[in-house]
Amino acid sequence: MTVSTHIAILGAGPGGYVAAIRAAQLGARVTVIEREKLGGVCLNWGCIPSKALLSVVELGDKLKKADELGLVLHGPAAYDLARMGVRKDKVVASLVKGIATLFKEWGIEQVIGQGTLKNERTLVVTKPDDSRLAIQADALVIATGSSWPNLPQFPIDGRQILTSQQMLALTQVPVSLVIIGGGVEGCEFAALYSGLGTQVTVVELQSRVLPLEDEDISSTMERELKKRGVTVLTGTTVESLERSSDAVTVRFKDGRAVSVEKLLVSVGRGFNSRGIGLEQAGVRIGPRGEIPVDDRMETNQPGIYAIGDVTGKAMLAHVASTQGQVAVENILGHRRAINYDVIPAGIFTLPEVGRVGLTERQARERAAARGQDSEQSVKVGRFRYGGLGKAQATGDTAGFFKVIAEAATDKILGVHILGAHAADLIHEAALAMQVGATVAQVAGMIHAHPTLAEGLMEAMEDVGGAAIHVIRKRAGG
C-alpha cells in the first residue's frame, strides 16, 4: 500500500494507540475509534494506577525498617488511601494527556464512540449523542482488548463484590478482603492491600499461587505473602457466598469459611470480540472468543488485522504495543513478525517478579519430549539477593535469581527473578536471549559493583558451578 493508505483502528489501549502513532510515522492517514479513554484498561484502570498505589506501599515498607536503618521518625507512618487515589488519578491523567498530545502532533484523528464493523472496509461509530458516523478505510485494526468476566457465582455489585477496577477506586481501606484467584492480579492486590493494613485471604484453585510461573517463584511468593500477613488457601475454591448489609461470608469447598468486608474477583478476563460486527465483516472468532491471526497479525479476512488481548496471545500491554506496530508495518508493506519466545514480563508484587522464557518444568518437559535425559540436558543456576552487597546495603535481601540453560549448547532457556527491581532487571536476560547470547557470554560480561544486576551474573556463573559468592565444598575437601 502507498503512504496515502487510510488505517482505521478500533480501540485506543496500549495496542491501538501505539499502532496509530507508528502508522502515522510511516505516513498513513489514521483514524482511531475509542468509546472510553485513551490508554485503555492498562493505563486508566489497571497497570499504571495499581503501580502508583503500590509505590506508596513499597515506600511504607521501607519506613517500617526506619529504626534499624538509623532513620528517626516521629511516630509511625500512616496511609491515606483517598490522597493516594488523588495522586494516582493525576499520574493517569498526565499520561492520557501525553497520548492526546502525540495524536495531535502526528495528525491522528480520534473519534469518540462505539465502533462496529459494517463490512470488511467500513466501521460505523455510534457517538455519545447517538449520532452515527461511517468510516471507510483501506485497512482495519481491531484492538478491543479484554474485560472483566461476569460470573454468576460472583455477582459483581461494586459495593461488596468488586473487580480490580473498582478496588482501585476505593478511598477507604477495607478491614478485610478475600481475593478469588491467586494469579498475577490477585497476588499484586494481596501485596497492595495487606500493606495498607487489610486482612487479606487469597484463594487459588490450583495447588499454588502464580500457577503459571516457575515453581520456585510460586513457593517463594507464597512465603513472602504469608510474611505480609496474607492467608493463602490453595487447592480449593468457593462453595457459596452469603451477603449481609456489612459483610460477605465466603464458604470454601474444603469446609472453611470467612466473613469479610470486600471480595475481589480476579479469575481471568474475557475477549472483547462480541457485538462489534466481526460476523458481518466475515472475521472468524475462535472457540474462546479470541480473534485468530497469522504472524502478520492479519485475520482470515484480508485487510482486517487484530492485536492485543483480543487475539488470545500473551495478554500483556507491551505485547499489544508490539503487535500494533507489527500490524501497521505489514499493512504498509514492511514485513515484520513477533518472536513470542522472548517476552519479558513483570509481576508487581512486593517483592517484584521478572521472568522471560521457559520455566524449569517446561524446559525439562521439552527435553524429555525430544527423548533426552531431562536431568542431564537442562542446567540451573541460582543466586540469592542476600549475597549481593547492594542488596545488603539497601536492605532488599529477599529474593533470588534463577537461570535455566541447555547443557549441550549453553543456550539460555529462561530466567526468573524475584526481588527488588526484578521487573527492570529481567531485560538484560531478555536481550541476551533475543540476540542468542550464551550463559558464558553473559557471565563473562563485566557487571558494575555494587549493583543488583550482579546477581544475574552470579546465577549465570552458577549454571557451571563457578559463581564466586556461592559457598561450596571443595572437591575432596
Pairing, β 139-142 against β 304-306: parallel
What are 206's three cell numbers? 490450583
Q: Which of 394, 15, 19, 53 is nearest to 7 (CA)?
A: 19
Q: Which amino acid is at 198?
A: T
As beta bridge partners, residue 353 has: 347, 418
Tell me which residue has cell 517478579.
Answer: 353
Phi then psi dihedrals of residue 268, to 5 deg: 100, 175
Alpha carbon distance 157, 148 (integer Å): 13
DSSP state, residue 473: P
Query: ∠ at Cα 305 (299, 306), nearest 5°?
Result: 90
Contact 411, 349 (CB under 8 A): no
CA dist., res. 54 & res. 56, Å (int): 5
Q: Is 449 a catalytic residue?
A: yes
Own/partner contacts of 122-129, CB < 8 Å, gap of 24 or more, are 123/8, 123/10, 123/33, 124/277, 125/33
Question: 85 and 169 in contact (C-beta within 8 Å)?
Answer: yes
Catalytic option among 6, 334, 449, 469 = 449
Gap between the terminal Cα atoms of the chain: 71
Compute the chain's Rg from CA coordinates.
Answer: 24
**Residue numbers annotated as active site:** 449
